[in-house]
A and B are shown apart, each in its own frame.
Chain A
Amino acid sequence: EEQLVESGGGLVQPGGSLRLSCADSGFTFSGFWMNWFRQAPGKGLEWVANIKKDGSEQYYADSVKGRFTISRDNAKKSLYLQMNSLRAEDTAVYYCARRYYYGSGRYSFDYWGQGTLVTVSS
């Protein structure tokens, strides 16, 4: 069964950088689009970014565009989120999730990691 495990969260000062990782312990990582989501403390869910199976396309939320970069290494079955110019409002639990395709244009985010907390504070 697929299992996604995030790491790399922690405390960082405003303006700083952090790189999150998401490791897939299953065997089908390269066959799926992968996503990052986040959830600020006590708030709702926000989609952050996603990346195509082969890494050739990436899409971002306006709130992170130009500051965050999503990437993947299919050989290592790993997803990454490089976060630069961090702001207090980036404080959140960050989740990675797989986008599963059922066919006929139907999708879901079916497997999620447990999340990693990023705190941006001086």
Chain B
Amino acid sequence: AIQMTQSPSSLSASVGDRVTITCRASQGIRNDLGWYQQKPGKAPKVLIYSASNLQAGVPSRFSGSGSGTDFTLTISSLQPEDFATYYCVQDNNYPFTFGPGTKVDFK
């Protein structure tokens, strides 16, 4: 199975900060990578699909980049509603696998 790692595992930030989360795959997955946001007690929500495509309705402060094994999610200016846990997931190969998550909380 493809192993996904994320860094950092958690970060503390303030409203307005630029936040960058990285995700690495144990082998090349082309651009078959999505980013999901999850708030406590809620289902995940798709932010980015195919590494760099913004899901409809998601604010443009979210962006994704990368291909192959290294990927990045960037929040250009953190807003109060962005405090959550973020997961990357590869759907290039079965079994689909998630990164362990990055928790973004208040500094």
Is B a genuine binding partner of A?
yes
Q: Which residues in A have some Cβ–Cβ distance to B below 8 Å?
A: 37, 44-47, 50, 59-62, 95, 97, 99, 102, 105-110, 112-115
Residues on the B chain within 8 Å of A61, using CB: 95
Q: Which residues in B have some Cβ–Cβ distance to A below 8 Å?
A: 1, 32, 34, 36, 38, 43-46, 49-50, 53, 55, 87, 89, 91, 94-101
A44 touches B87 (CB 8 A): yes
- Summed over the interface, the residue pairs from A and B with CB atoms below 8 Å come to a total of 61
The residue that B50 contacts in the complex, of A50, A59, A106, with Cβ under 8 A, is: A106
Q: Bound complex: CA of A114 vs CA of B43, how far in Å?
A: 6
A47 touches B43 (CB 8 A): no
The residue that B53 contacts in the complex, of A45, A46, A106, A112, with Cβ under 8 A, is: A106
Q: Which residue of chain B is the closest to A104 with respect to CB atoms?
A: B50
The residue that A60 contacts in the complex, of B36, B55, B95, with Cβ under 8 A, is: B95
Do A110 and B44 contact each other (CB < 8 Å), given the known contacts A45-B98, A47-B96?
A: no
Q: Bound complex: CA of A45 vs CA of B36, how far in Å?
A: 10
A45 touches B38 (CB 8 A): yes
Q: Bound complex: CA of A3 vs CA of B88, how far in Å?
A: 23
Residues on the A chain within 8 Å of B53, using CB: 102, 106
Q: Which residue of chain B is the closest to A64 with respect to CB atoms?
A: B95
Q: Bound complex: CA of A109 vs CA of B55, how far in Å?
A: 11
Q: Which residue of chain B is the closest to A63 with respect to CB atoms?
A: B95
Q: Bound complex: CA of A28 vs CA of B1, how far in Å?
A: 31
Q: Which residue of chain A is the closest to B30 with respect to CB atoms?
A: A105
